[in-house]
Amino acid sequence: MYKKILITLDATPTDRAILDHMKPLARLMESRVVLLHVADGWAARWYGPDAVSREVEEDTAYLAKIHAEFASEGIETEVKLAYGDPVTEIVRWVKEQGCDLVAMSTHGHRLLGDLFLGTTATRVQHDVNVPVLLLRAR
């Protein structure tokens, strides 16, 4: 059913909720998992893949760590680091690379936070044509 699952990560403890939830599902469905993080600091937004910054180095190391975690459990996994606005890049990735499911942790902002900040998850789910699994972090 879900041959290719995109798990979006923001490189914070919030990710743990969706990572722990998706491992058993990926194993059960024998899915290939793509771990996507969007570097959105000034260097990443300005220079894209040519960016050299502490943020990009830390993001790359974080993706490698999570990749190893999934691989050690026998889950076929690849990592992708995108650059720029998270919503734009996630939606672009889904449209260009395709997947059967997008899985995301949410921060659980309420009312005013959502009005002022918007939520990546809400904006993504309205711009893609595949199911989006949202899991609120504790």
Cβ(89)–Cβ(83) below 8 Å: yes
Q: Are 104 and 12 in contact (CB under 8 A)?
A: no
Using one digit for the tens of pLDDT, what is the confidence trace for 16-44? 999 999 999 999 999 999 999 999 988 88
pLDDT for res 109 = 55
The structural domains of the chain, with segments of one domain joined by +, span 4-136
The tens digit of pLDDT for each residue in 85-134 reads 999 999 999 999 999 999 998 876 555 444 444 478 888 988 999 999 99
Tens digit of each residue's pLDDT (9 = 90 or more) over 44-76: 888 888 888 999 999 999 999 999 999 999 999
pLDDT at 108: 61
Structure tokens belonging to residue 113? 């936070």
CB 39 within 8 A of CB 51: yes
pLDDT value for 110: 55
CATH 3.40.50.12780 matches 4-136: no
